[in-house]
Amino acid sequence: MEHSANDAVTTIGRWPVLAPPARIAASQCTRPDFSVVIAARDAAVTLGTAIESVLGQTTPAAEIVVCDDGSTDDTASVAARYDEVRLIRQPPSGVAAAKNAAAGAATGEFVVILDADDVFEPERLEALSAVAEARPDLDLLTTDAYVEAGGCVLGTWSVLFQHFASSDQAGEIVRRCFPFPHVAVRRATLFAHGGFDESLASAVDWDCWIRLILGGSAMGCVAAPLARYKVTPGSVTSSAGRQALGHVRMFEKLLRDDGLAAARAPLEAALRHWRREASIVGAEELLLGGDLRGFRRAANAIARDNLFERSTRLKAATAAAVPRLAQARLRRRYAQAGFNRLGRPLESR
């Protein structure tokens, strides 16, 4: 797993682990139990595979809770096939509401997020359980993961997207969402901080981890790929423009939270960054989509905006003057890299 030179890797059982220094000694209590929660909408094609990956764990989950968020396909029927699954159904309310409903119905000390189109490797809960027992000071746990697109493994999350931060987690979580998405979170801590914010359409996990870590929680990571994260066409994360705008709205919301006043400066810096990113990736998506008129307007707006560095403004002005040449160069650059500006595989666009 990719990590920085400042990250100390320890071993818990047979697992390499990245985490901040322990704040309390390990207890003599039994291992905490883990409930796996799945928020699903129109996921009939993939949900069964996700559930079976949990049923195949070497350390069993305490339970599996599926929240069907207003599906119009056979999602509920797929979940109902499994005696081990507790099914909750609700009108379409959004991913945050579905996660809250599933986590609220769970009984485990930890709830583990699993997307309906992803899977756990067989030893994931075993590894998380070992770390939770050895490090009772950690409220948040995760692992590395394989990233798949079109049925092919592109690499691991830590190499392709984000390396895990074991130091300065409060600073790093504002700058970047360093955990792999399928985090295990102590259920009492999750709801003590308000759960997932149902006012957000995207970035609900990152928003939650920011609030928990700024509130004093620490996270550990098993430095081994113990899940498979599948990038799918049309998903929120597959569009760099939607992703960046979602981050803008998230940081605007966080800055309205009086409880985070101590972190105002880094939150403001992050908001400025994502406003710039939203403008740039929005312009790039117009260009890639062939909307040259829309691109010219967006690029000229960047060129006039003092929020950007002078070099960026000059590049935008030049691209606005020769959009077809800029389009050819951008397509060539993305094709060579294989990823869009925010690091998402181009196949997922």
**145: domain CATH number?**
3.90.550.10
DSSP 8-class letter at 162: -
- Do 97 and 110 lie in one domain? The reply is yes
d(CA 329, CA 203): 30
The residue ranges of DSSP E strands in 4-106, in sequence order, are 9-12, 15-18, 34-40, 63-69, 85-90
Q: What is the structure's pLDDT at 53?
A: 98
Q: Is the pLDDT of residue 312 over 80?
A: yes
Q: Is the pLDDT of residue 305 over 60?
A: yes
- Do 245 and 214 lie in one domain? The reply is no
How far from chain centre, in Å, is Cα 246?
12
Q: What is the structure's pLDDT at 233?
A: 52
- Do 51 and 160 lie in one domain? The reply is yes
- Do 153 and 284 lie in one domain? The reply is no
- Do 258 and 227 lie in one domain? The reply is no
**Arithmetic mean of pLDDT over the chain:** 91
Q: Please compute the mean of the pLDDT values over residues 269-298 and round it to a whole number.
A: 94
In a domain, 186, yes or no: yes
pTM: 0.89
Q: Is the pLDDT of residue 129 over 50?
A: yes
Q: What is the structure's pLDDT at 343?
A: 54
DSSP 8-class letter at 344: -
In a domain, 346, yes or no: no
- Count other Cβ atoms within 10 Å, centred on residue 259: 12
In a domain, 171, yes or no: yes
Contact status, residue 196 vs residue 94, Cβ threshold 8 Å? no
- Do 231 and 301 lie in one domain? The reply is no
Q: Is the pLDDT of residue 157 over 90?
A: yes
Q: Please compute the mean of the pLDDT values over residues 112-137 and round it to a whole number.
A: 97
- Do 74 and 117 lie in one domain? The reply is yes
DSSP 8-class letter at 88: E
Residue at a domain's end among 237, 267, 299: 237
Q: What is the structure's pLDDT at 337?
A: 61
How far from chain centre, in Å, is Cα 224?
17
- Do 275 and 286 lie in one domain? The reply is yes
In a domain, 4, yes or no: no
- Do 119 and 244 lie in one domain? The reply is no
- Give percent of the chain with pLDDT exceeding 90: 80
Q: Give the 3-state DSSP-derived string for 201-229, with helices as H, strands as E and coil as C.
A: CCCHHHHHHHHHHHCCCCEEEEEEEEEEE
More confident call, 244 vs 183: 183
Residue-number span of the structural domain to which 248 is assigned: 239-338
Reported confidence tier of residue 339, pLDDT bands at 50, 70, 90: low
The residue length of the chain stands at 349
- Give percent of the chain with pLDDT exceeding 70: 91
- Do 182 and 271 lie in one domain? The reply is no
Residue at a domain's end among 188, 218, 237: 237
Reported confidence tier of residue 346, pLDDT bands at 50, 70, 90: very low
Residue at a domain's end among 205, 237, 269: 237
Residue 222: beta bridge partners? 17, 143
- Do 131 and 254 lie in one domain? The reply is no
Q: Tokens 């609030």 belong to which residue? A: 211
Q: What is the structure's pLDDT at 341?
A: 58
Number of domains observed in the structure of the chain: 2
For 206-246, the pLDDT digits (tens) are 999 999 999 999 999 999 999 999 876 544 334 778 889 99
In a domain, 345, yes or no: no
d(CA 133, CA 152): 35
- Do 191 and 73 lie in one domain? The reply is yes
Amino acid at 280: I
